[in-house]
Amino acid sequence: MISVGVEVMALVLILSVFNGLEEFQKGLFNTFDPDLKIVQAKGDRFQLTATQVKSISQLSGVKFVNPILEDQGLIRFQQKQLVVRMKGVDPSYLSAGRLKNQVVEGDYFIESGEHPFALVGIGVFLAMGMSFDNVFEPIEAWYPNHSQLKRAALNENAIRRNFFFPSGVLEVEQNFDNQTVIVPLDWMEELVGVPGYRSAYEIMLAPNTDDQAIKNQIQTILGSTYRVQTRNEQHAILLKAIKIEKLFVFLIMAFVMGIASFTLFYALSLLVLEKRKDLYTLMAMGVSRQQVFRAFIWVGALISFSGAAIGMLLGFVLATIQQQFGVISLGIPNALIEAYPIQMDPWDFIWTALVVILITGLAALFPARKAVQMTFNSFK
């Protein structure tokens, strides 16, 4: 019973940790990902008509439609250089208040014109040695001029250049912080050389809006040429990897539980030998084969169900303690979370119970049959 309980408790806790990690990732994405994202099914950049954009913005539940032009480029500052992800946004991006709470230093604004300003990830800010006090040396941004490179023209016109000053520092998560610079949309169009083209449209919805219903309406407006992605679909590969890892951990733990069920097998086998004389007495009193078989099956079920119940109860209690107090820490300096995240799912308890019933039922089957054979065959 103890071995079954320990295995059930461990399985419940491990699955709850995977649920917590998945929910943490989703919550992290929510800080910088839109509710819906429009991308082209084939190709990187595209143009939507004014009618299409207006139709989308007028849908019930749609608050903001943010045009995005995004690409990689090289930035240089004081003999330092770094490849970053530059994201061009228009004023509606700031009107939506996106990433406003993630500004840890400086101000929340972007600006084009004679003195352009951009929001910079904290990793980029530190790696390049930027400073708000230096108002004389702007950060240079370089981007390849593809039309010149196609003609193999390696000259000064093969590189497009622009510059900006940092207005604020963003701290979101490591990958974002180390490679993201948010710049004005017209500044980005000038650098890339594709006015009017967009790499995506990011849509922010009103609270409690059905994103799937809005997605279907937008898909109807745009047709099959474009793909509309929900937040989960924007990171489908990562979330799918977490689910696959959770499945394999579940299967491994089920295998370990199967090995642990040998303790139940040996316990019932020893019980058969110990109760041999009692079985003879019961047989002489008219007990049938089916009754002897059911007796040992019920003993195995009692042991397994008791262990499973105790294991689930302990798993629930320990998971609740970890969820409330974060007793076990990750042990990673400067991590976004200090302790292992926990998210309990009723289905994990149900699937664990079914696996316990199946494995322990098979473990009790052979001793029960052995008890019947040993008793009635030896009597003959």
- For residue 186, what pLDDT is reported? 95
Q: CA nearest 38: which of 14, 66, 12, 62?
A: 66
Q: Name the domain boundary from 230, 254, 273.
A: 230
Range of the domain at 223: 34-230
Q: Do 45 and 175 share a structural domain?
A: yes
First-to-final CA distance of the chain? 35
- For residue 27, what pLDDT is reported? 80
Q: Do 271 and 127 share a structural domain?
A: no
- Rounded to whole angstroms, the Cα distance separating 272 from 343 reads 42
Structure tokens at 354: 């079914």
Q: Do 189 and 60 share a structural domain?
A: yes
Which of helix, strand or coil describes residue 375? helix
Q: Do 45 and 7 share a structural domain?
A: no
Give exposure, 8-23, as e/b (b: 16+ Cβ within 10 Å): bbbbbbbbbbbbbbbe
Q: Do 250 and 167 share a structural domain?
A: no
Q: Do 99 and 22 share a structural domain?
A: no
Q: How many domains does the chain have?
A: 2
Q: Do 206 and 94 share a structural domain?
A: yes
Residues of the chain with pLDDT under 50: 380
| 159-170 and 117-121 strand pairing | parallel
Q: Do 286 and 303 share a structural domain?
A: yes
H or E segment at 294?
Answer: helix 289-325
Strand partners, 105: 169
- For residue 378, what pLDDT is reported? 56
- For residue 150, what pLDDT is reported? 58
Q: Do 221 and 357 share a structural domain?
A: no
Q: Do 289 and 215 share a structural domain?
A: no
- For residue 31, what pLDDT is reported? 80
- For residue 155, what pLDDT is reported? 57
Q: Do 53 and 16 share a structural domain?
A: no
Q: Name the domain boundary from 191, 212, 230.
A: 230
Q: Do 14 and 65 share a structural domain?
A: no
Q: Name the domain boundary from 179, 200, 230.
A: 230
